[in-house]
Amino acid sequence: MKFISNKKILRPLIFGLAGFLVILLFYFIGLKDIRESARQKVLDDINKYSSPSTSINLTQGLTSEVLSKVAEANITLGTSSDKIALPDDLTVEQAITQAVSQFNPETLKPKISDSDIKISDSVSSQEYFKNFKSILDKYSYIYSVDEETTLANSVASLIFSYQSMLEEFFNLSVPPEISSFHKEEIALISAKINILKQLKNYQNDPLLTLLAIKSEEYFDSQFEELKENINNYIAQNNINF
């Protein structure tokens, strides 16, 4: 009886297994690429929506305006002097008022459209609010951070925490009937990130940083309004979670 050698049996099995592993490897690489692509879109959205829409440097504008007033106060044809005349306080105040008037806190808050979020008919309001609350609970430590400590040491880490929370909200599916709540939450978190970014990079535009910090109360009132609207919706629709 003629026997088939082990090598002749194993060789095609080895090649077949190797081919299968290569296919499997490419499959998982493909899945990873898909996951990474989806995650990158979320991160791109975060960067897109947590960047102030204003391109005006208010500090530069104010400096330019004041210096212009200084130049006007010193232009006298046919005379020369070693002393520099300064504009009066009223002129400087007017320049500051003009610079401040160019700031609109809404420029720190992005507009979120339906295409930016995950709207799904397969998720219930109950499930959504359960996940919504879970995210807020997870990052509740953010709101108990001492402000002086934050200013001194951890603005960057606070930005990271808000961005991580924002990423989770971008990944959260929402029923169409309450998508407005979801978009407003994302927009307000983005505004908070923008304020912190201005604080971190205050040297770029000190005046804008000052105005951004002062706008916190403006956005806090919007957070409270959103919270009230959500609680009313939950109560009116007998949603338990």
The predicted structure's pLDDT at residue 141 = 85
First-to-last C-alpha distance (Å) of the chain:
74
R_g of the chain computed on alpha carbons: 29
Task: Indicate if the pLDDT at residue 175 is higher than 70.
Answer: yes
Task: Indicate if the pLDDT at residue 165 is higher than 90.
Answer: yes
pLDDT in tens, 22-33: 454 444 445 444
The predicted structure's pLDDT at residue 77 = 46
The predicted structure's pLDDT at residue 55 = 56
Q: How confident is the model at residue 106 (pLDDT cuts 50, 70, 90)?
A: very high
The predicted structure's pLDDT at residue 66 = 64
> Are 53 and 111 within 8 A, CB to CB?
no
Q: What is the mean pLDDT of residues 143-148?
A: 62
Task: Indicate if the pLDDT at residue 158 is higher than 80.
Answer: yes
DSSP string, 95-129: HHHHHHHT--GGGGSPPP-GGGSEE-TTS-HHHHH
The predicted structure's pLDDT at residue 22 = 45
pLDDT in tens, 32-64: 444 445 445 555 655 655 555 555 676 666 666
Q: Which tokens in the block code for residue 241?
A: 């979670």
Angle (CA) 7 12 14, round 5°: 85
Strands 173-174 and 118-119: parallel
